[in-house]
Amino acid sequence: MATLLYRLGRTAYRRWPFFLVGWLLVIAAVGGVAATKSQPFSDAFTIPGLESVEAAETIPELMDGEQSPMEAASIEVVVAAPKGATLTEAKYADGVAELASALGKLDNVPDQIPVIWTAAQAKELAPAMAEAMSTPEAAVTPAQAEQMLLAQIEAQPSLSEDGRIGLLSTQFDVETIADVTPAMQQEVIDTVEQVADETGLQVEVRGAGMQTQGAINATAELVGIGVALVVLALTFGAFMAAGLPIVTALIGVALGSVGITALTAFTDLPSSTPMLGMMIGLAVGIDYTLFILARYRSELEHTDDRQEAVGIAVGTAGSAVVFAGLTVIIALAGLTVIGIPFMGWMGIGAAITVAVAVLVALTFLPALLGVLKSKAFGGTFRRYRPAREEDGRIVNNGVRWARLVGKRPVAVVVLVVVALGALALPFTSLKLGMPGDNTAPVESSRYQAVKLIEEGFGPGRLDPMMLIVDARKSDGDAASKQAAYAKVVDWVGSLDGVARVVAQPGTDKGAIILVEPETAPDDDATQTLLDNIRAGEPELENELGVDLAVTGTQPVMADISEKLNSALVPYLALVIGLAFILLMLVFRSLLVPLTATLGFLLSVLATLGATVAVFQEGAFGLFPPQPIVSFIPIFLIGIVFGLAMDYQVFLVTRMREAHVHGMTTREAVVDGFRNSARVVTAAAIIMAAVFSGFILMDDVIIKSLGFALAVAVLIDAFVVRMALIPALMYLMGEKAWYLPKWLDRILPNVDVEGEGLQRLRHSAGDGGDDLDADERELVSV
């Protein structure tokens, strides 16, 4: 592989116009597909085959084609009068009427939004409702309509007992939630804010139709890019070189993001996919370019032929980049095999950006170097004159650190294991949940609406369960079916933890029964209620001859969490197994991949513990306590494994390269740190900064994932790879490179160290006319 990449690097440097034009054509082609064929992203976190999902899919069939409540782009407007006042007072009642009228005038909202809170309002609206419900076969009288409205008010009141908080419910007039645009949502927000200012009411809005698709926050990008630019400038001591990784990473992220958008033409993608792809693509894009560029600068010490230096850099560091990228891609693409479509597509989207980042580093960077030539390290502002040993080798902080670890390797191993184990302790109290209005930013209208509903109606009103009664297989007549529905209502209403039961009118095919718990959706007691309902279903089904199933937001999310937990072990086995084989190819060893994997497990457990402490337990008061998003742990495991292997590959390949060229393992560890520690440190700081920037995002998934990944990078790079791994290498000695002969014979030789390359070495006085004074100073190290 090294030889192949060597030729690729030389060709890209020499024929840079061809490669740059090629990349522009690719961007234009993918951008054309994205502009003309792309579809909206989806916010649906569902999994086919789950009982709750299948139950929701039967609702239109049972209710004669009516849209399932779970598919409706619902809008729930929460109105509150000032403290001490009520919404039934004339002043505020007029304000509510004005609000309903203003919302009804919006293009994408039904014209009539009835306000039905009191008996007087029910009597006023009864004639219009009777007319709407009447058919040629069956007329509905105003009196009958009034009784229906009164029953609705009693069963599911939309005005709090103290009269201060009320609910107005409607929905966007669209086929699916995905058809809701940010402009439509903004119209609703502007309308309620205007009415609130004019009437003195507090008006907040929530609902599936108001779930904002994750918009990209430019500040999140700028924070990471700014830190990266500073670190790169300090690493290279030259402004031009500092900018190259940023430029190439942005090119890769742009193409990856456009590619993800184009992919929506062929499948539904979760709305968090672009941000996830940008987060990972930006981080690895900068790092991969940094490693090749640093190796290029190092090669300029030995030759004044820039084309040759680029070829060797791409052949050696580029090989490490390829295998590092493959570990990340394997971890991300592996999400497709766990049977959870939305996670699989998020993984594919992120894997696309990583693959693009690798290709950009291997081809676009050499082409840029071909354009810049001697100006690649222009703008030098710092001279680097490190100390040297008697044999001329550099003595830097990496060497000093490696030798310090080598003095007490056992103590380092014990200290790292104990420290990371302590950090992992909060993970034992992990509580999973899914994003919703209650996990929205505290200052958002969605979150404030949740708080008002809890205050006025109790936490169970946020997301009632739906008990679906399917009577299509029943042989009974209409009367017996209605009696069966009533018995189900009585049964579920008798269960502990049920605050209210609302039976919607049933048909000959079935009925929907709303079950409002006494507790919030993420409360353990709500899960207990769900378990009790499902435990009692079989007996009632046999007695009544109907099929029962529970659906709704909470049951769906509970089923998703259970599915994710069951998928974790197979996913780990797949990813770790494939990556172990890949690392065995790279290092030609059994113990090095094993220690790399064990180090990863420590990293991910410590990261999960820190995430639970900060997000779930509210440590340091940085974020309001909330459950960890259900798929964060499995996603974090995949991403952290890939990124952890990045640093393992970059650091240990230099150790193996030194060992292959005759050094002992102890000397090779020191030499690996001499050549790679500085660059790995810079890469880790950059990656952590990029991930930290995404903590500023409103999307709770991206916020928590950004925090977790930043912590994971810092722990893995500076604690595991910089301390634990060298300590273990010292303890293993020459056994670290042990590989059975039979296995050595069947494994292909990928030559990551570049043994097949002939390095051109010239003395400082031979040639060198191609280097300017600043560049000579830079490469003299």
- For 406-452, the pLDDT digits (tens) are 999 999 999 999 999 999 999 988 887 776 777 777 788 888 999 99
Contact assessment for residue 113 and residue 168, using Cβ atoms and an 8 Å cutoff? yes
Which whole-number Å values give the CA distances from 304 to 290, 374, 392, 634, 776, in the listed order?
21, 10, 20, 48, 10
User: Residues 749, 752, 753, 758: is their CA dihedral positive or negative?
Assistant: positive
**For residues 56-76, average pLDDT:** 77
- Considering only 400-404, 692-696, 722-726, 727-731, which range has the smallest mean pLDDT? 692-696
Mean residue pLDDT of the chain comes to 83
Residue 762 pLDDT > 50, yes or no? no
**Bridge partners of residue 467, in order along the sequence:** 513, 550
Per-residue pLDDT at 65:
61
Long-range contacts of 189-197 (CB under 8 A, 24+ apart): 189/445, 191/99, 191/102, 191/103, 191/106, 192/77, 192/99, 192/103, 192/445, 194/102, 195/95, 195/98, 195/99, 195/102
Query: How far is it, in rounded angstroms, from Cα 597 to Cα 593?
Result: 6
Residue of 518, 508, 501 whose CA lies nearest to 467: 501
In terms of DSSP H, where are the helices of 391-513?
397-407, 409-424, 445-457, 478-493
Nearest to 322 by CA among 367, 288, 276: 288
pLDDT digits (tens, 9 = 90+) for 161-175: 999 999 998 888 887
pLDDT exceeds 90 at position 294: no
| Residue 769 confidence (pLDDT) above 70 | no
pLDDT-derived band at 620, boundaries 50, 70, 90: confident
Residues in CB range of 273: below 8 A, 6 or more apart: 41, 260, 345, 346, 349, 350
Q: Which residue has the higher pLDDT, 75 or 137?
A: 75
What pLDDT score was predicted for residue 235? Answer: 82
Contact at 8 Å (CB) between 272 and 701? yes
The domain defined by 464-551 folds into Alpha-Beta Plaits (3.30.70)
Closest CA to 382 of 526, 556, 239, 171: 239
Mean pLDDT in residue range 618-629 = 80
Residue 324: other Cβ atoms inside 10 A = 27
Which CATH number is associated with domain 2-40+214-385+393-428+558-748+760-775?
1.20.1640.10
779 or 481: whose pLDDT is higher?
A: 481
pLDDT of 254 over the 80 cut: yes
State the span(s) of the chain assigned CATH 3.30.70.600: 464-551
Please give the average per-residue pLDDT across 465-472, as a whole number. 91
Q: Where in the chain is the domain with CATH 1.20.1640.10?
A: 2-40+214-385+393-428+558-748+760-775
Once rounded to an integer, what is the mean pLDDT over residues 503-510?
80
| Mean of pLDDT values over 301-320 | 86
Strand ranges of the sheet holding 547-551, from the earlier edge strand across to the other edge:
498-503, 510-517, 465-470, 547-551
Is 602 a residue whose pLDDT tops 80? yes
